[in-house]
Amino acid sequence: MNNKQYPISGIKIGTACAGLKSTTDDLTIFELSPQSTCVGVFTQNAFCAAPVTIAKQHLAATNPRFLLINSGNANAGCGEKGLQDAITCCETVAQSAGCNTNEILPFSTGVIGQPLPTDKICTAIPIALKNLAENNWKVAANAIKTTDTVDKIVSIQTSIGNKIVTVTGVAKGAGMIRPNMATMLAFIATDANIPTDILQNCLNQAVEQSFNRITIDGDTSTNDACMLIATGCGEQTIDNIEHIYYEQFCQVLTDVCTQLALAIVRDGEGATKFITISVEQGNSSQECLEVAYTIAHSPLVKTAFFASDANWGRILAAVGRAEIIDLDINAIQIYLNEVCIVENGGLADIYTEEQGSKVMAETDILVRVLLGRGDKQERVFTCDLSYDYVRINAEYRT
């Protein structure tokens, strides 16, 4: 990840300790410049958290002025009270900052099903507002964490059309990760001037190739949200999808999102291996993803990676049970890095256990599956399943 961090003109960030987790900061406020545009993608989980519901309603009503994020409590599965608690926190920010309640977007992450301690949050809000500063991206990356072990922050500054454009983002996530239109939580901003509809297109395109290509445990969170803000405080304007620099900006945004997404996988709860699954020669992108996710979500495959066990039969079985119509197993090839393990319907003639074991002992591993039925290709990123994953989640509420 890029260690250089560029603040975004028009964004100020403040954090505070509300006591939801421990003695570390767990409350974060983003202040957006008045001319900012803001878009988002949210979890598709039917039991979406209260802040997701409120944030979507507020975002549809007006351009936001503040984002309010708490970690340590998800405010999910709390019914009508959860909705009111989210609104109460928004009202406190609005009263303190002198704006409308629907100009506040709330976000939460943490344990599901526990009432949100609004008293603690509302007490800490004025402190976070007092701490607002442009250079607080790193403290924000730390404050939004739950089981994360590292801060996730990416910042790119580049020239687009001879004008400097900056994109900076933070994310959190280590478990309950199989995003569906978003990630656990991600907040990304640029100083470019981009209208809402174009900004939404940019985000959708970037998310589809980044956050929607990672999985740790196959569970889609109730709280997923990925927000993109364009402050308009820079010199570059991109006002339509036919703009000469639209694709260049989208690529920079996708790079930021991809680096954040891969950081989530590398920080997966208990993870010891980083695994790229590339499915090639498919009839469609959808069937490539079906095969990739079937491999990535297999507990048997994931535990074999953790054990550095070249149990190639588990990968073969996962490919075979993917819901692909008329799959010709004799046309399939499977590789571990550059080592061919499966061809012509069975174990490759040139394969040796020593070759497979050598690859499985590595930290970064590429699984390539060639379906031999088309020209489509997709990649998914995942990790292994270790003893520590079970321990972390078994002890999560203790």
Domain extent listing, the chain: 11-266, 274-394
Q: What is residue 4's predicted lDDT score, i.e. its pLDDT?
A: 86
CATH homologous superfamily for the domain 274-394: ArgJ beta chain, C-terminal domain (3.10.20.340)
Report the alpha-carbon distance of residue 207 to residue 230 in Å, rounded. 16
Determine what percent of the chain is predicted with pLDDT higher than 90. 92
Digit-coded pLDDT (tens) for 380-394: 999 999 999 999 889
| Active-site residue identified among 183, 220, 222, 382 | 183
- Report helix, strand or coil for 397: coil
* Residue 241 neighbours by CB under 8 Å, 6+ apart: 198, 201
Q: Per-residue pLDDT for 2 more than 60?
A: no
Confidence band, pLDDT 50/70/90 cuts, at residue 184: confident
Digit-coded pLDDT (tens) for 8-21: 999 999 999 999 98
Confidence band, pLDDT 50/70/90 cuts, at residue 182: confident
What is the CATH architecture of 11-266?
A: 4-Layer Sandwich (3.60)
- What are the φ/ψ torsions at residue 105 (nearest 5 degrees)? -110, 120
How many Å from the N-terminal Cα to the C-terminal Cα in the chain?
Answer: 32
Q: Tell me the pTM.
A: 0.95
Catalytic residue list contains 276: no
